[in-house]
Structure 1
């Protein structure tokens, strides 16, 4: 092999590019894993920290919002301070925050550390792609991105099952502590293997020479808006919205003020932290909404299917995680198939088809009842696993259509922000719907239950006889029968409320079909990869 050819096979610093790819994939796997690993552990977290299930859901939403906030700043910070340095700082913060999450002593401390974890994780995925692009020659980049793609796809599949197994057999704390040793190993390997390319170093010197500054004001306004909005969405139902709660009023004002200040600021800056002008395009604006809705459905179902199976079907956390497993495996297979289909089918048709399939899966979930089986939930998730890759991969290529190359970084950041913010808002929306519809169905069902009615008396008598046959005396048997009837009513209320949640998520997914059909056709061979 000639010196030239040999040099082309080496990454910056003279290291083997495949070793770099493995380290980068490991770090990315760890970060993506944490978007789903805690979902099936929420019941354990809720019990361990003595909080309600809706409050425990903050563990998911706080991470997603913090992740999105870092995403919008990661591109500039990596260029300004170096990809290796920023990547290592991101991994270090993520690892330290993960360990702190494992030792959290209250919900407030866990949420603080979870936010730090999200801030660290948000910069990892976009930088991983840049590092891979620098480490491999063009002819080998496809293989490198395939390895990276496997890490991204497999991590959410493993996350729920691993999180459930750790919660059942060890403790929910290990869902976070497991990142500690992996992060330390990844940091050591990064320090040894990764070097910034000469092109990245020149870009960093140019930024310093030109005095290009980070849009700190825009970043703070976006962060304040997203954070305040999430507090309003998550706490609104518990605090009776803006009626009597000072907390809700304060954060409501912060949300409105930050939004009103953010829009003109970002639209008038030369180098804004987010280029909102991209949303004026019918093509990109539609793709943004598609990703927003898709993120909402993905994250909400990943949380609510394990939640209902644990609370009302008696599943362990491990079994609840396994319910999502077949759908995850189907997603992995579909990623490869959709990659091939995208070369012959326009993205808008794939998005529309995927949206219809996911909507059908959500409709299937509205048929739950007391004897619903493991495979009923698994098949519903399989339908979702078929449709989601058709949306995710296609919306990425469609979103870049018609954009100049110097705006693709901003486009990638916005699309990824849409996914994370959509996921966070989806969980909050679903929690609010569940609470409101539970109250509605409870009031309606109680109205229809008349203790003096013959039907009620017959049910009470049968239940009383059952408990008498199992050893309870007359009064105790009747009290147990009344309690059993109340439990059955509460369970039925919960089923109806969850059905309403799935109806709303299904309607959101159905909206993707007309949104997809207004997209333009894209040129072949121009799609880019985004996390």
Structure 2
């Protein structure tokens, strides 16, 4: 009884401690993005080779996520969590010490393997640390970690890389990881349902199929745009491997007595529908995180640090709203909060579509706040609803599935919006080029003005005309890019509006104090 006291008496302290390591792990999914050019230059690698620094981490991470529930049963949740922290910390140190690109990719692979179990374990620990009637507040805390880390990642990575060395984006994890492991060992205690259980046999076939299917899928999502999708035999092969691996894994797992991933949880309607919504929460979060820094850097000359700072106020808005939504889930039906969150996020994406070449930093910040202010209304009620009828003994399995679905939603979201952005750029360029003819009075006027301005600098007339046309073309490319971002944000807005309407048809489930308590007992 005394072992459980720290958890029950100090759930917020436990939550902060277990969230510390998870914050670093989620941060590392995005912190290296802005540092790839520096890493490639330092290690003498090409840009294509450097992208495997991201891919290797994501592939190993997504493989471990669904297995963390089974690994928890094998080792005990606390032991597994501490092992993941230690492994992640050690791998981070090795990444920072790498002297070649192959070495860094291998250590990033190990970092992803160790880090993959952190997020599901954190959610399960926090869920079991709070009484049922405070489930919403519990997931408000996990939401701060899950949503804030990807927002701050690009800014932190850019600042460290610009002012120190890319190695410190990995080495900074070491002291924090050591502290987190020490504190978790002192404060966290496993309830009976999360302690080490006897495992009769290891389902190697299930393990292999999951690793094969999800690993191949992540490679397709991460490398698809770079390899021109299905015009590439590389992508076609891995897409086939992913499809076969995932289908066989589903078929196999459903027929096992003790599967490594418990798919029977999807028979619970209050778990299945929120999981579908959670997929699109990941889509909205990661899609918005990648678009705005790209827009600021490519078209407005922001460096990595400044473009990251554009995201920061949105993170502050998320922190402020999380506790509010954590309380609202006890008095408002989850489906209404989810619908409201989807529509607010859609409004934020839609308003960003009105950007112009004259936009300033303050406007960027306001747009970012509008994009993120709805995320707490999505994350907290979706997770609260998903876990509302999950028995304690299934918490770790449910957390693993939930984390996997959110991450896959993010990966697919990034792939979709990136593809949409590039396609729209080509379309907008073709449209604008149609107006670059002598028959167009606007083009003639701009060309004459540019030519005269250049001639006033002492450049000969013929050369001035060529330089003027070059400047006009560069401006065309910039405007086509900005219009493409508008189209992409509108695409995201339409998806979110459809989901916001769909959420209204979810089963009614008011997560009041009494209802939550009944559902978990």
Provide structure 1 residue ranges, at least 5 long, that are not aligned to the other structure: none
2:141–2:322 Cα contact (<8 Å) kept: no
Choose which of 218, 221, 230 in structure 1 pairs with 2:209.
221
Structure 2 portions without partners, runs of 5+:
none
Residues 241 and 161 from structure 1, CA distance in 2 versus in 1: closer, same or farther, beyond 3 angstroms?
Answer: closer
Structure 1 residue 223: Cα displacement:
2.5
Matches within 5 A, 1:374-523: 374-450=361-437, 455-470=442-457, 472-522=459-509, 523=511
Would you say the 8 A contact 1:460–1:482 is kept in 2? yes
The CA deviation string for residues 383-409 of structure 1, in whole angstroms up to 9 with x for no partner, is 222211011000112223555554443
TM superposition score normalised by structure 1: 0.84
> CA-atom RMSD, angstroms?
3.7
Question: Shift in Å at residue 184 of structure 1?
Answer: 3.5
Of 298, 311, 325, the residue aligned with 1:311 is: 298
2: CA distance between counterparts of 1:445 and 1:140? 55
Distance in 1, matches of 2:89 and 2:478, equals 40
User: Which position in structure 1 is the counterpart of 2:157?
Assistant: 163
Q: Give the counterpart of 2:110 among 113, 116, 127.
A: 116
Aligned to 1:199: 192
The residue that corresponds to 2:63 in the other structure is 69
CA–CA distance in 2 between the matches of 1:299 and 1:340?
25
Equivalence for 2:287: 300
Q: CA deviation at 1:113?
A: 3.6
Distance 2:191 2:396 in 1: 20
**Which segment is superposed worse, 127-136 or 469-478?**
127-136
For residues 188-240 of structure 1, the C-alpha deviation after alignment (integer angstroms, 9 at most, x for no partner) is 5556x367558379x42xx32xx433433223222222221232233334434
Q: Does 1:98 align with 2:98?
A: no
Take 2:101 and 2:486, find their aligned partners in 1: how far apart are those partners?
29
Structure 1 residue 362 and structure 2 residue 349: aligned? yes
Distance 2:409 2:403 in 1: 10
Question: How far 1:503 moved relative to its partner?
Answer: 1.8
Q: How does 1:55-66 map to 2 (within 5 A)?
A: 63-66=57-60
Aligned length: 514
- TM (norm. structure 2) is 0.85
Give the alignment of 1:173-322 within 5 angstroms: 173-188=167-182, 193=186, 197=190, 199=192, 203-204=195-196, 207-208=197-198, 211-243=199-231, 245-279=232-266, 281-322=268-309
Q: Which residue of 1 aligns with 2:332?
A: 345
Q: Would the aligned equivalents of 2:286 and 2:413 in 1 still touch at CA under 8 Å?
A: yes
Bigger CA drift: 119-128 or 312-321? Answer: 119-128
Cross-structure match for 1:88: 82
Q: CA deviation at 1:261?
A: 1.1
Name the CA distance, whole Å, in 1 between partners of 2:412 and 2:341: 21
Can you list the C-alpha shifts for 1:16-68, whole angstroms capped at 9, x where unaligned? 9988665434323322332443455466567777766x987765565445333
- Could you tell me how far apart the structure 1 residues matched to 2:138 and 2:332 are? 24
Instruction: Give secondary structure in 2 for the equivalent of 1:370.
Output: coil
